[in-house]
Amino acid sequence: MVRAICIWILCFLSAYLLVWFATDPNAKALLQSNYWESVFRFGESLRVVNAKYVDHNQSSFEKLTNSAISGMVGDLDRHSSFFSPDKYKMFQDGIHRRYVGVGIMIREVESGILITKVFTDGPADKGGLLVGDLILAVNNQKTEGASLEQVSNRVRGEAGTKVNLSVRSLTGEVRKVSINRGPIEISSVEEYYIDQNQTGYLHLLQFTNNTYEEVLGAIESMTGQGMKRIVLDLRDNAGGLLSAAVEVAGIFLPPGKTIVTIREKEGNMNRGFKSKSDHPFFNLPLVVLINEGSASASEVVAGAISVLNRAALVGEKSYGKGSVQSIFPLNDGYGMRLTTAMYFLPDGTTIHEQGLNPDLLVPFHESNETKLRIQRYGRKNLDDMEFERLFGFKPIEDIQLQKAKDYLLKNSAFIPAKRL
């Protein structure tokens, strides 16, 4: 009886291991001799550094292991990274729109780290930070020479904690601001309205879990107000969830159209994503605005709409990020973002490291782009005189948006992009 039970257990374990090795690509590595050689080499190096390095504070097993993994993943490409538990939680919160911080968006420009948006009623807004402020120091640590990510990490922190910023305004005034970090709610749809010509405008900031509902709600609202055409503004939209991008593109396309194809590691299956919902907006006259800040998921939307001759692209060449990152939770709260696939537009082309070229090029000098961002996010209810006094320049015209609207007004029905 005991022998029979042991045989049954061995058979069960053997079957389990066979299924595991057959279905889990990570498990297959355990059968490769060079895998174990690499593990032993790393373990040996870890022990030597831990035992012999002069500064024991820098050579704990945990610190060395995390540094090694971070270097290994970070060297693959600029979009792959290893997350500490705190950073992994921040990343997950960002996907689900649960931010904790001061409530600003920043961008690296020639003169330094520029605040391009201050979220209304957030900690930064209440603390007196303004769009157009340059961040000079965070907690007395200068930002000169620091990367955008480094400054961002210094500004972030737990809710209820304080961060001290030194900033310089557009008028040259240097001031110190102390801000209490707190939760931030960020919508995907930054702004939408209808102008006097019944042209709708929708500025989409990012792609998250709720983006589809927000975009569809805004379009339905404008349609109810008599909208006859629409400008979809994807400028400075750095991307987000691919699934959200597919859903948004599907709003403007008839069902069954291929939006994007994902090609994974060699030997793995390719996956195509098609439009599903049958919305009444697939023949709504449309123009899409892009610039160098349009990346990843926003390029999926703009690229698919352009390739399928659904709309024209207006503005400047996009960023050119055609890779897909997957998120892998690890033990003890750590995580990893890893490039696992490349995406291709409906015609089989890729925009990776190439970007999308607009059908109608409307260049903007960087100084004017900065002014426009300040104007878009910082003007609020200021009149022209108050705006100039606060920011040091007169409001400028958004020529890219105006060109897009002019094109739509000249074409009462949809005309493919190639006819621009």
Element (H, E) at 361: strand 360-361
Render pLDDT for 21-45 as a digit per residue (tens, 0 to 9): 555 556 666 667 788 888 899 999 9
At 192, is the secondary structure helix, strand, or coil? strand
CA distance 382 to 271: 49
CA distance 415 to 364: 25
Q: What value does the mean pLDDT take over residues 59-73?
A: 93
Q: What value does the mean pLDDT take over residues 347-368?
A: 91
Choose from 104-108, 147-151, 346-350 the range with maximum mean pLDDT: 346-350
Token pair of 269 as six digits? 């299956």
Per-residue model confidence (pLDDT) at position 184? 83
Task: For residue 260, list its beta bridge partners.
Answer: 273
With pLDDT > 90 as the criterion, what percentage of the chain qualifies?
56
pLDDT for residue 415 is more than 50: no
pLDDT for residue 2 is more than 60: no
Q: What value does the mean pLDDT take over residues 185-210?
A: 92
Q: What value does the mean pLDDT take over residues 168-173?
A: 88
CA distance 131 to 145: 21
**CATH code for the part of the protein at 189-419:** 3.90.226.10
Task: For residue 174, list its beta bridge partners.
Answer: 168
CA distance 80 to 61: 23
Token pair of 330 as six digits? 């690890």
CATH 3.40.50.2020 fits 98-184, yes or no: no
Provide the whole-model pTM: 0.77
pLDDT for residue 278 is more than 80: no
Q: What value does the mean pLDDT take over residues 401-410?
A: 93
Render pLDDT for 320-344 as a digit per residue (tens, 0 to 9): 999 988 889 999 999 999 999 999 9
User: Taking the domains of the chain in order of start, what are their residue ranges?
Assistant: 98-184, 189-419
Q: How many CB atoms lie within 10 A of CB 408?
A: 24
pLDDT for residue 310 is more than 60: yes
